[in-house]
């Protein structure tokens, strides 16, 4: 039997109370299940409002009212994070699970130097202190390829460029040597050449530190370059999951097909394929398959029946009536 | 063919940040930029943040006053216009902004936002203006019944449509699109881009399309100019630029584009900015100019 996955999420449900906390509860993450193996990178893609970031926040239990985790299990290294007390959770968060966000300024404290913040992290997690921490902070900045790290350690976040700040945040996330890194749109705010550098860096660090990664992004190009497997989210559900190459070459869900087609493919002078409509707001996801109103291939069961998960081939699953129907007809013949 | 927009030797200096002792030297954001855009063309201007592409776009419309250079739109000398003439001339050149959230006044009804240019330019009677607003809503694919709503009641993509309707109210010939879809999700981005392409065909618009998404630029632009540190380093047809880039910076930029084929990663070509020397553009092949 192969090793148990590092992260194993089952039936995770996160809800938000609408209308500033006084309205009814709406489901933002609707019973999703996925796993990440050791050393593996899972890409989580979808448009804004699909529930990707809420999923990440739920894993590290940083969902605050009016939101709450309503159910499920998040096994990390065999322990259910959802049942840990807050003190134990703090030892996981930032220590065993590191995270980087799209906007480094929210993760970095503007009034302390980069070096000091990394040293503090090392001290809090009792990994190093004093001169050893100072040395380690510079090593970490060097590992994330910050040029002239000893000098940059003394800089404040606002004195660094966007790319350098992103690297500083990575150094901070890696200080405690986590086994899982959650990266939420880590390169979205960066220029394309800087993005390429940060992606190269993430790839190297993954090898060097044996990191597993949950990579949240809306950019299928980034997924193609980085992820081993991809899960596509829509309205709080995972609608398709497969190996990256399979997902991009044989997408099964009309939503996945639409997302891939919407990416400009660089044939001059052509219109882009688009998905009509937009992601419905929280609380208005609707009945049945939530993609129905935007789906070019909808038929009778779609508006009313929630599609179950169909396995197309080993490791490639989809939630779509087109495929459940096929399985049924195949069963008849 | 005649150029609708002709830019010669455009320069924009910003005063340097104060510093404690004396004044720091000024920063040259746009450095001797020249190009022309044909009527009906989509001309792409690409570069990284800080390359000067947005400043160039705004200088053309004199939303920022250029330091020096010549700007001609339809044989009109834009820099020579008095402020009154400039205001009147603005109906011929409009801008669509990147952020559909901050570019619409949250306290105005969207119908009023779209009608405002007509009010300012005193075009038509009240009834005619109202009818025109309905027509514009219809043109950009918005429900004409929605004119009494406020911006926050619309999604990002719909807000961008409102911005487009406002920009088109005066039937401009040149529209500067400053990163018009980079704040939108990819599926909605495609809807808005297709709308811009449809409108171009129907109304014969000319676009200066400022963007950092190279895939998008390749798909919709006829010609593309690449900016680096305030200078144009390459100008060519989209096809030519993407298949045979001549400037080392363009080559580096293209090699950094994420691709959809996994495992087919192109070798990244690094570019060392320390080697950058401002050079004039020269024609490397027919219609393909590069600062090499």
For range A192-207, the mean pLDDT = 86
CA-CA-CA-CA dihedral for A84, A88, A90, A93, to nearest 10: -70
Distance of CA A233 to the CA centre of its chain: 10
Q: Running DSSP on this structure, what letter comes out for residue B274?
A: G
Looking at domain B3-15+25-290, which of 3.40.50.2000, 3.40.50.300, 3.90.950.20, 3.60.15.10 is its CATH number? 3.40.50.300
Nearest CA in chain B to A278: B188
Domain borders along chain B are 3-15+25-290
The distance of B201 to chain A (nearest Cα, Å) reads 12
Helices A254-262 and B186-203: crossing angle, nearest 10°?
A: 50
Report the residue from A193, A269, A272 with minimal CB separation from B190: A272
Could you tell me where the DSSP H helices lie in chain B?
53-60, 83-89, 110-120, 126-139, 156-168, 186-203, 214-220, 238-243, 248-255
Q: What is the pLDDT of residue B101?
A: 77
Report the residue from A200, A264, A275 with minimal CB separation from B187: A275
For range A125-148, the mean pLDDT = 90
The distance of A191 to chain B (nearest Cα, Å) reads 6
pLDDT tens digits, residue range A293-324? 999 999 999 999 999 999 999 999 999 999 98
Residue with tokens 């899960």: A231
pLDDT over threshold 90, residue B267: no
CA distances from A65 to A20, A52, B60 (A): 10, 18, 48
Q: What is the pLDDT of residue A330?
A: 40
The distance of B156 to chain A (nearest Cα, Å) reads 9
Sign of the alpha-carbon dihedral angle for A244, A245, A250, A255: positive
- Preferred mutation among A266, A271, A279 to probe B, highest tally of B CBs within 10 A: A266
Contacts of A270 in chain B (CB under 8 A): 219
pLDDT tens digits, residue range B126-181? 999 999 999 999 999 898 889 999 998 888 888 999 999 999 999 999 999 998 88
- Preferred mutation among A272, A281, A284 to probe B, highest tally of B CBs within 10 A: A272
Q: Which pTM was predicted?
A: 0.86
pLDDT over threshold 50, residue B244: yes
Both structure tokens of B17: 């940040």
| CA angle, residues A302, A253, A35, in degrees to nearest 5 | 110
Strands A97-100 and B3-14: unpaired
Contacts of A220 in chain B (CB under 8 A): 186, 260
Q: What is the pLDDT of residue B167?
A: 93
DSSP A116-136: HHHHHHHHHTTS--HHHHHHH
Tell me if B258 and A221 make a contact (CB, 8 A cut-off): yes
Tell me if A219 and B258 make a contact (CB, 8 A cut-off): yes
Contacts of A200 in chain B (CB under 8 A): 268
The distance of B230 to chain A (nearest Cα, Å) reads 16
pLDDT over threshold 50, residue A329: no
Tell me which residues of chain A have a C-beta less than 8 Å from any C-beta of chain B: 47-48, 162, 191-196, 199-200, 218-222, 224-225, 244-245, 248, 258-260, 262-276, 278-279
Tell me if B187 and A262 make a contact (CB, 8 A cut-off): yes
Q: Which of A1-10, A62-71, A88-97 shows the lowest per-residue confidence on average (mean pLDDT)?
A: A1-10
Residue B214 three-state SS: helix
**Residue % of chain A over a pLDDT of 90:** 59
Residue A274 three-state SS: coil
Q: What is the pLDDT of residue A56?
A: 94
Q: What is the pLDDT of residue A277?
A: 84
**Stronger pLDDT, A152 or B26, i.e. the higher one:** A152
Tell me if B197 and A271 make a contact (CB, 8 A cut-off): yes
Beta-carbon contacts of residue B178 (< 8 Å; ≥ 6 apart): B54, B57, B58, B95, B96, B97, B98, B210
Distance, in Å, from the CA atom of B200 to the CA atom of B206, rounded to the nearest integer, reads 7
Residue A144 three-state SS: coil
Both structure tokens of A219: 């950019």
pLDDT over threshold 80, residue A2: no
Q: In DSSP terms, which residues pair with B36 in a beta bridge?
A: B6
Tell me if A224 and B258 make a contact (CB, 8 A cut-off): yes
Contacts of B159 in chain A (CB under 8 A): none
Distance, in Å, from the CA atom of A161 to the CA atom of A187, rounded to the nearest integer, reads 13
pLDDT over threshold 50, residue A333: no
Q: Which of A197-201, A269-273, A321-325, B85-89 shows the lowest per-residue confidence on average (mean pLDDT)?
A: A269-273
Q: What is the pLDDT of residue A102?
A: 78
For range B21-31, the mean pLDDT = 78
Tell me if B186 and A263 make a contact (CB, 8 A cut-off): yes
Report the residue from A162, A224, A275 with minimal CB separation from B259: A224
Nearest to B35 by CA among B5, B63, B57, B13: B5
Q: In what order do the strands lie in the sheet with A7-17?
A: A25-36, A7-17, A67-76, A79-80
Q: What is the pLDDT of residue B56?
A: 96
Report the residue from A162, A193, A248 with minimal CB separation from B260: A248
For chain A, give the mean pLDDT: 89
Q: What is the pLDDT of residue A327?
A: 47
CB A133 within 8 A of CB A185: no
pLDDT tens digits, residue range A232-276? 999 999 999 999 999 999 999 999 999 998 888 767 667 888 888
Distance, in Å, from the CA atom of A130 to the CA atom of A113, rounded to the nearest integer, reads 15
Tell me if A191 and B155 make a contact (CB, 8 A cut-off): no
Strands A97-100 and A180-184: parallel
Tell me if B257 and A275 make a contact (CB, 8 A cut-off): no
Distance, in Å, from the CA atom of A54 to the CA atom of B135, rounded to the nearest integer, reads 40
Q: What is the pLDDT of residue A197?
A: 84
> How many A-B residue pairs are in contact by the CB < 8 A criterion?
117
Beta-carbon contacts of residue A85 (< 8 Å; ≥ 6 apart): none
Nearest to A25 by CA among A63, A56, A62: A63
For range A269-297, the mean pLDDT = 88
Report the residue from A194, A266, A278 with minimal CB separation from B215: A266
Report the residue from A48, A191, A279 with minimal CB separation from B49: A191
Residue A66: asked if its preceding bond is cis (omega within 30°), the reply is: yes
Q: What is the pLDDT of residue A325?
A: 59
Distance, in Å, from the CA atom of B284 to the CA atom of B292, rounded to the nearest integer, reads 9
Q: What is the pLDDT of residue A268?
A: 66
Tell me if B219 and A195 make a contact (CB, 8 A cut-off): no
The distance of A273 to chain B (nearest Cα, Å) reads 7
For range A11-20, the mean pLDDT = 91
Q: What is the pLDDT of residue B23?
A: 60
Banded model confidence at residue A290, pLDDT cuts 50, 70, 90: very high
Nearest to B115 by CA among B135, B98, B99, B96: B135
Q: What is the pLDDT of residue A51?
A: 92
Nearest to A211 by CA among A246, A252, A173: A173
For chain B, give the mean pLDDT: 90
Contacts of B259 in chain A (CB under 8 A): 221, 224-225
Residues across chain A: 333
Contacts of A266 in chain B (CB under 8 A): 215, 218-219, 242
Nearest CA in chain B to A266: B219
CA distances from A86 to A61, A82, A90, A277 (A): 9, 10, 6, 41
Strands B3-14 and B174-178: unpaired
pLDDT tens digits, residue range B110-141? 999 999 999 999 999 999 999 999 999 999 98
CA distances from A153 to A112, A130, A137, A142, A149 (A): 10, 15, 7, 10, 6
Q: What is the pLDDT of residue B239?
A: 92
Which helix (DSSP H) or strand (DSSP E) does residue A209 occupy?
helix A192-209
Contacts of A254 in chain B (CB under 8 A): none
Q: What is the pLDDT of residue A331?
A: 36
CB B57 within 8 A of CB B95: yes
**Stronger pLDDT, B155 or B278, i.e. the higher one:** B278
Q: What is the pLDDT of residue B212?
A: 85
For range A182-199, the mean pLDDT = 85
**Stronger pLDDT, B215 or B289, i.e. the higher one:** B289
Q: Which of A130-134, B42-46, B274-278 shows the lowest per-residue confidence on average (mean pLDDT)?
A: B274-278
pLDDT tens digits, residue range A214-234? 999 988 989 999 999 999 999
Q: What is the pLDDT of residue A283?
A: 87
Both structure tokens of A238: 């995972």
């Amino acid at each position: 039997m192969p090793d148990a996955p590092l992260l194993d999420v089952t039936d995770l449900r996160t809800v938000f109370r609408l209308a500033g906390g006084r309205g009814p509860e709406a489901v933002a993450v609707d019973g999703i299940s996925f796993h990440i193996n050791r050393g593996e990178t899972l890409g989580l893609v979808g448009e804004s409002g699909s529930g990707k970031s809420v999923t990440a926040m739920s894993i590290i239990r940083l969902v605050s009212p009016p939101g709450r985790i309503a159910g499920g299990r998040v096994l990390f290294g065999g322990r259910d994070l959802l049942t840990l007390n807050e003190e134990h959770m703090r030892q996981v968060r930032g220590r065993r699970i590191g995270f980087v966000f799209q906007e480094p300024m929210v993760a970095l404290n503007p009034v302390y130097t980069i070096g000091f913040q990394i040293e503090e992290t090392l001290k809090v997690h009792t990994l190093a202190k004093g001169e050893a921490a100072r040395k380690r902070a510079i090593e970490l900045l060097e590992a994330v390829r910050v040029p002239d790290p000893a000098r940059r350690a003394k800089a404040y976040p606002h004195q660094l460029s966007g790319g350098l700040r992103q690297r500083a945040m990575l150094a901070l996330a890696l200080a405690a040597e986590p086994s899982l890194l959650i990266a939420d749109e880590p390169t979205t705010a960066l220029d394309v050449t800087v993005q390429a550098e940060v992606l190269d860096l993430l790839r190297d660090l993954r090898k060097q530190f044996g990191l597993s990664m949950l990579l949240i992004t809306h950019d299928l190009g980034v997924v193609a370059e980085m992820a081993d497997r991809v899960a596509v989210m829509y309205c709080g559900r995972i609608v398709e999951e497969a190996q990256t190459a399979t997902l991009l070459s044989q997408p099964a869900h009309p939503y996945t097909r639409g997302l891939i087609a919407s990416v400009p493919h660089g044939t001059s002078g052509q219109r882009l394929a688009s998905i009509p409509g937009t992601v419905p707001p929280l609380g208005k996801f609707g009945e049945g398959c939530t993609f129905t109103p935007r789906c070019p291939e909808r038929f009778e069961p779609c508006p009313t029946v929630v599609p179950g998960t169909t396995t197309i081939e080993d490791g490639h699953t989809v939630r779509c009536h087109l495929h459940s129907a096929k399985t049924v007809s195949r069963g008849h013949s | 063919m005649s150029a609708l927009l002709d830019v010669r030797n455009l320069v924009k200096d910003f005063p340097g940040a104060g510093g404690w002792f004396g004044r720091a030297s000024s920063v040259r954001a746009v450095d001797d930029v020249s190009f022309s855009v044909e009527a009906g063309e989509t001309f792409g201007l690409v570069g990284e943040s800080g390359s000067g592409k947005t400043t160039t776009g705004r200088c053309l419309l004199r939303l920022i006053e250029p330091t020096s250079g010549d700007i001609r739109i339809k044989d009109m000398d834009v820099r020579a216009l008095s402020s009154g003439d400039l205001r009147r001339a603005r109906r011929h050149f409009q801008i669509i902004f990147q952020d559909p959230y901050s570019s619409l006044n949250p306290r105005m009804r969207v119908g009023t936002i779209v009608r405002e240019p007509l009010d300012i330019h005193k075009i038509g009677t009240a009834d005619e203006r109202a009818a025109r607003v309905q027509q514009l809503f219809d043109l950009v694919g918005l429900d004409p019944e929605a004119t009494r709503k406020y911006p926050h009641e619309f999604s990002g993509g719909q807000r961008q449509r409102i911005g487009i309707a406002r920009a088109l109210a005066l039937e401009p010939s040149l529209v500067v699109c400053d990163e018009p879809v980079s704040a939108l999700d990819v599926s909605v981005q495609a809807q808005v881009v297709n709308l811009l392409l449809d409108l171009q065909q129907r109304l014969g618009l000319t676009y200066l399309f400022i963007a950092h998404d190279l895939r998008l630029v390749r798909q919709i632009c006829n010609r593309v100019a690449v900016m680096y540190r305030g200078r144009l380093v390459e100008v060519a047809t989209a096809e030519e630029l993407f298949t045979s880039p001549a400037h080392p910076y363009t080559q580096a930029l293209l090699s950094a584009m994420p691709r959809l084929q996994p495992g087919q990663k192109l070798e990244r070509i690094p570019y060392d900015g320390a080697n950058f020397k401002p050079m004039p553009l020269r024609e490397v092949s027919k219609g393909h100019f590069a600062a090499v």
